[in-house]
Amino acid sequence: MSYKVYYEDTDCLGIVYYANYLRFLERGRSEFIAAHGQSVADWNREGYLLVVRSLTIAYRRAAVLGDLLDVVSSFTLESRFRAVFHQRVERAGELIVEADVEVICLDPDQKPIMIPEAIQKLAAG
Amino acid sequence: MSYKVYYEDTDCLGIVYYANYLRFLERGRSEFIAAHGQSVADWNREGYLLVVRSLTIAYRRAAVLGDLLDVVSSFTLESRFRAVFHQRVERAGELIVEADVEVICLDPDQKPIMIPEAIQKLAAG
Amino acid sequence: MSYKVYYEDTDCLGIVYYANYLRFLERGRSEFIAAHGQSVADWNREGYLLVVRSLTIAYRRAAVLGDLLDVVSSFTLESRFRAVFHQRVERAGELIVEADVEVICLDPDQKPIMIPEAIQKLAAG
Amino acid sequence: MSYKVYYEDTDCLGIVYYANYLRFLERGRSEFIAAHGQSVADWNREGYLLVVRSLTIAYRRAAVLGDLLDVVSSFTLESRFRAVFHQRVERAGELIVEADVEVICLDPDQKPIMIPEAIQKLAAG
């Protein structure tokens, strides 16, 4: 998946606003999950809410209006309750942003539950 | 209510991004309603969802990082089902943006219902 | 151009937040211009800043997480200084939002200038 | 500084969208700097651009529509070129989010420069 940088993504320093990379990362995770089975919206309807518990992110280069950004994602399973997405935002192969995003699964009452096995199976390695 | 312009509100032209004024307008409507009774969140919990059906907006001047913006709001009742908020975004009395925002009320099943009488009473004139 | 609805686009009523359709509309205008010549970023570099002066928008249906939205755009030339984009956001052909967006062209000193002829030529009719 | 949670901040899970806390954190940093001297916009005009190089953030509780959020900020100086903001988003004293945000200073050509001494002096301890 590639995403173009539009005005909405930039700020008055002329570059992509730092919070907006988290939007690109979330698009990347959503597409990663959908590409390997059903969509995030489908999982929600079945009562599985994947939410971010923590993340670290490093901004390596600045992206600007019109750039085409790729989000490269993989993930590792820390336990049956906790996964970490390893994500890179790239521009023609050049690293722009990298992040580790810890994700857990909640039920509709906001109680932690096991990550669905179909998603567990997508873990790297 | 005054709102400061932060990086998040601006774009790479150095000014507030056009869509973000709708965020300022919605903050203004929310504060207008809360100032005259219960909050929008309270109304939601009681099953009254105020949603925008249409709007017109004119951009008169550009606001920039650090500006302090006021949102001035009043509204007129078109019927018991339909109200129009008249809103101005100002910077120290100078007009930045003006908008007419048509609002209706839905129940939790997305069916149009009467605007609550307590809100109807806030209409100007 | 199709755009998927991600979490970032929705609000706690479960639907796309009203201001965010303006982001979809701007993506549509940017792609419309780029598809017929150079990109908006290129025009900026040449000193032509296309900015929105006013708009009207009507919300016909609500879009939700995972929807795939198309932005259909055309425009008419009101004068050499002023154009109106006619835009529709659709979901599989169903009308979600329609808008008329008045656009003018500024130079880097924020002075109104003629819309570049290459863009004028894109006008419908 | 307190910030109310508006529709714009929430997503269709009914809670504040994870990227939007970075907007709250940036508001907090901007107010922290302005409270101790000149504003971020003033620093920009003098050629000092404070930008985020990396951050870690942990989401402890979910905030919802209408919540009043406080951003508590302090910072430590790692070197004359690098500072770390320690920030907490709280709701009536309850921890919602905590983050460490690494900040550097760029000149208008995007070259790293020393953090202005007036800002260095704000470091805790």
**Tell me: the pLDDT tens digits for D58-102?**
999 999 999 999 999 999 999 999 999 999 999 999 999 999 999
pLDDT of residue D65: 97
Residue C125 clears pLDDT 70, i.e. is over it: no
**Residue of A8, A11, A15 to mutate for B, most B C-beta atoms under 10 A:** A11
Question: Can you tell me the distance from the alpha carbon of C74 to that of C85, in angstroms, rounded to the nearest whole number?
Answer: 6
Residue D119 confidence class, pLDDT cut points 50, 70, 90: very high
pLDDT tens by residue, A77-113: 999 999 999 999 999 999 999 999 999 999 999 999 9
In chain B, what residues touch C23 (CB-CB under 8 Å)?
A: 19
In chain A, what residues touch B65 (CB-CB under 8 Å)?
A: 12
| A11 assigned to active site | yes
pTM of the model: 0.97
pLDDT tens by residue, B65-98: 999 999 999 999 999 999 999 999 999 999 999 9
Domain boundaries of chain D, sorted by first residue: 2-120
| CATH of A2-120 given 1.10.3720.10, 3.10.129.10, 3.20.20.80, 1.10.10.10 | 3.10.129.10
pLDDT tens by residue, A7-32: 999 999 999 999 999 999 999 999 99
Helix or strand run (H / E) with residue C65: none
Nearest CB partner across the interface for A8, out of B7, B17, B65: B17
Nearest to C1 by CA among C99, C72, C92: C72
Question: Can you tell me the distance from the alpha carbon of B20 to that of A8, in angstroms, rounded to the nearest whole number?
Answer: 9
Residue C1 confidence class, pLDDT cut points 50, 70, 90: confident
Residue A1 confidence class, pLDDT cut points 50, 70, 90: confident
Residue C98 confidence class, pLDDT cut points 50, 70, 90: very high
Residue B15 clears pLDDT 90, i.e. is over it: yes
**Choice between C7 and B36, residue whose per-residue pLDDT is larger:** C7
**Contact in structure between D68 and D3 (CB atoms under 8 Å):** yes
Q: Which segments of C24-114 are extended strands (E)?
A: 49-59, 68-79, 82-91, 94-106, 112-113
Please state the ipTM of this predicted complex. Answer: 0.96
Question: Can you tell me the distance from the alpha carbon of B73 to that of B37, in angstroms, rounded to the nearest whole number?
Answer: 15
Residues of chain D that touch chain B, judged by Cβ-Cβ distance less than 8 Å: 4, 6-8, 23, 26-27, 30, 39-42, 44, 64-66
